[in-house]
Structure 1
Amino acid sequence: MAFSNFIPHIAPTILFYFLLLPSPISSLNITLLLSSYPSFSDFNSLLSSTGIAADLAARSSLTLLAVPNPLLRAPSSPNLADVLRYHVLLEYLSLPDLRRIPPTGKLVATLLQTTGRAAANSGSVNITIDSNSITFHSPASNATLISPIKSLPYNISILSLNSLLIPADPDLAASETRPPLGLNITSTLINGHDFNVAAAMLAASGVISEFEADEGGAGITMFVPTDEAFADLPPSAKFQSLAADRKAVVLRFHMLHSYYPLGSLESIVNPVQPTLATEQNGAGSFTLNISRVNGSVGIDTGIVQASVTQTVFDQNPVAIFGVSRVLLPREFFGRDPIDLYKPSGGGAPPPDIAMSPENYGPANHLSAGGAGGGGVGVFWGLWCTVIFYFLN
C-alpha cells in the first residue's frame, strides 16, 4: 500500500525526466544537425552537393571535422568529395578523448580509407596534442582544433577546425567508382603490406572462397592478424602443429557473418558474437567477446586479448580490420591465458575487456542496424511503465 501511494508522487517527476531525453533516431542526418549552426552553412552545402551527407546516413560512431565559413577555402581539386571524406573520422572522439591522446599521437582512419583508393595509411589523419593546441595532420597540410561543436555520444562528434585538411595526392584518384562487391580479399590483404602471412594461410586453406562467397549476403567482418602477430605466437601455442582442418577453423574464428563498420563494433549491444566457426561447430562455441576498450575495439577469445589496430577495408557489405594478435579459440588452446601469452620486455599485460564510461549522458545509436536496438527497446519499455503509473 505504501508503495502504491508513493507512485503518483514520483510519476510526474520521472515522466518529466523522460520527456527531456532525446528521442530515438534511426539514421544520421548530418545536414539537419549542421543547419543549427549558420557559420558552417558553406561546409554543410558541400557535404550535401557531393553526396557525402547521404553516405553518412547509415553510419554511427564518427567524428566530423567541419570548417566555418570565414576559414573555408575549398580546393579546386576534381576530387572535392574525397577531400570531404577525409574530414570524416571513423571513430567517435569527444574533447576528453582528444585530451587523452598520447604524446606520440593517434592515427585515425577516415571515410576516404574505406573507398580503397587511399594507399596504405594515406587515408588516415594523425592527431597530436601539446600544451597549447590539438592538431590534425595530413601528409599535405595541418589544421588546428578551434572548438567542439556538437556531441551525441557515442555516435557523432562535430569539431571545428581552422582550415581544410588535404589528403595526399587527391588528384591521382579521379575515379569516383567504388570497389565492386566481388572483392579479392587476398589481394586486398597483400596490398595492406602487413598481412602476408594471413593472406597466404587463407589462400592455402581454401576458406577464402567461403569468405568471398558471403560478401553478397549479410556481409562479413574479418579480423586479420598482422605479420607481427603471427611472429609473436608463443611456442606453447603450437599453432603450426594443428591439423589443416583445425587451422581452417581458427581462420573461420576470425570472421563474423555480418557487416560491422568500426563504429558499430564500438557500440555493439551484445558483446558475445558468433563467428563463422560457430556456425560449423554449434551454438555457444567459438565466440568472440567484442567491446570498447580505452577508445578502441577490444576482442577477447577467453585466452587471448587483442585490439583492432587499423581499418584495412570498409565498404558495405565487407569490413576488414587489422588486429594485434592471432585470435586463438579456447576450444583448441585450453582456457589458461597465462600459458599462452606473457608480457615480453617487461611490458604490462593486455587491459581487461571492459566498457569505458564517459560522462556525457545516454547514447543515441544513430545507425539503422541492430547496434542500437536494445537501447531503444529499454527506453520505450520504461516510457510505457511511467505512462501506466502516471495515468493510474
Structure 2
Amino acid sequence: MKLLFPTFPLLLLFISSTTAQSPAASPAPPGPTNVTAILEKAGQFTTFIRLLQNTKVADQINTQLNNSNQGGLTIFAPTDSSFSNLKPGMLNSFSDQQKVELIQFHVLPTVFSPSQFQTASNPLRTQAGGSQGSFPLNVTTSGNQVNITTGVTNATVANTIYTDSQLAVYQVDQVLLPLSFFTTPAPAPAPSKPKKAARSADSQSGSDDTPADSSGAIFLSKKTVHITAFVMLVLATFP
C-alpha cells in the first residue's frame, strides 16, 4: 500500500500530458452555399427571394454551386424598391415561363469580379438564353461604376453583396427586363396563292365546235363569197 501513493501523482501527470498533446478538434465544415440565405442576410431583397423560390431557380442555383463539377455564377439582385418602380401590374402580367426567364436573366453562368466587367465581351450570356437574340445583356464601365443595358432597362451595379470563388452577388438599382418581353414577333408571311392550272390541250387548240383561229375562218368565208360573186358575174356577161 505504501508503494501506491508515490506512483499516483505520476499517473495523473502522465494523463495530463497525454491530453495536452492530443490534436484539437477541427472546426465544423461550412454549410452548403444558399443564395436565398445570402440575400436574406443582406436584407431588402424580399421580392427577388420570393421569385427565386417560386420559380425554383434558387434550387437550381444552389445545386450548381454545391456541385464541384459545375462552374461559378454571377447574380444581379434587384432591391425591393427596384420592383416597386415597375409599372403597376407588370410583374403579375408575366406568365410563369416569363417569370422563370426573368430570374434566369439576372444570372450569368460565370463568376465576374468587378474588374472583370471592364474586359467582358458583350453581349453577356445569361441563363435565360444565348448571348444573341431575345436576351441581350450588355455591360459598360466608367471608372469603378458598372452599367447594365438590356434594350429596355438601364441599370447600375450599386453594391457587392457577396463574393467567393464560385459566386458573386451584386445589388442592382433596376429590374433587368428582357427585350423579348416587349417586342412583337414579326407576322408570318401570308401563304402564296396557288398557281393556275395549265390549260388543257383541248382548250389550247380549241373545241370541235370552235375553230382554233376564228379570225382566219372569217377571212376565208369572205374570200369564198367574193369568188362566187365574180364567177356569177362572168357567166351573166357571156351567155
Equivalent of residue 128 in structure 2, options 277, 284, 287: 277
Counterpart-to-counterpart distance in 2, 1:264 and 1:305? 20
* Distance change in 2, residues 1:178/1:254 (3 Å): farther
* Distance change in 2, residues 1:263/1:202 (3 Å): same
C-alpha contact 1:268 1:291 (8 A) present in aligned 2: no
Equivalent residue number for residue 371 of structure 1: none
SS at match of 1:287: coil
C-alpha contact 1:274 1:288 (8 A) present in aligned 2: yes
- Computing the radius of gyration from Cα coordinates, the structure with the larger value is 2
Structure number with the higher helix fraction is 2
Counterpart-to-counterpart distance in 1, 2:146 and 2:28? 30
C-alpha contact 2:136 2:151 (8 A) present in aligned 1: no
Please give the residue correspondences for 1:10-89 in structure 2 after superposition, counting only pairs within 5 Å: none
TM-score (norm 1): 0.37
Equivalent residue number for residue 312 of structure 1: 161
Counterpart-to-counterpart distance in 2, 1:178 and 1:227? 33
Structure number with the higher strand fraction is 1
Unaligned runs of 5+ in 1: 1-175, 336-392
Equivalent residue number for residue 122 of structure 1: none
Please give the residue correspondences for 1:305-344 in structure 2 after superposition, counting only pairs within 5 Å: 305-334=154-183
Q: Percent identity?
A: 28
SS at match of 1:277: coil
Is 1:233 the counterpart of 2:117? The answer is: no
Counterpart-to-counterpart distance in 1, 2:29 and 2:159? 20
Please give the residue correspondences for 1:1-392 in structure 2 after superposition, counting only pairs within 5 Å: 182-215=32-65, 216=67, 217-235=70-88, 238-265=90-117, 267-279=118-130, 283-293=132-142, 295-334=144-183
Structure showing greater relative contact order (alpha-carbon pairs closer than 8 Å, 6 or more residues apart)? 1
Q: Where do 4+ consecutive residues of structure 1 move more than 3 Å? A: 176-180, 282-285
Deviation at 1:199, TM superposition (A): 0.7
C-alpha contact 1:274 1:284 (8 A) present in aligned 2: no
Aligned residues, how many?
156
Deviation at 1:320, TM superposition (A): 0.5
Unaligned runs of 5+ in 2: 1-26, 185-239
Counterpart-to-counterpart distance in 2, 1:315 and 1:179? 13
Deviation at 1:177, TM superposition (A): 8.9
* Distance change in 2, residues 1:303/1:179 (3 Å): farther
TM-score (norm 2): 0.60
Q: CA RMSD in A?
A: 2.4
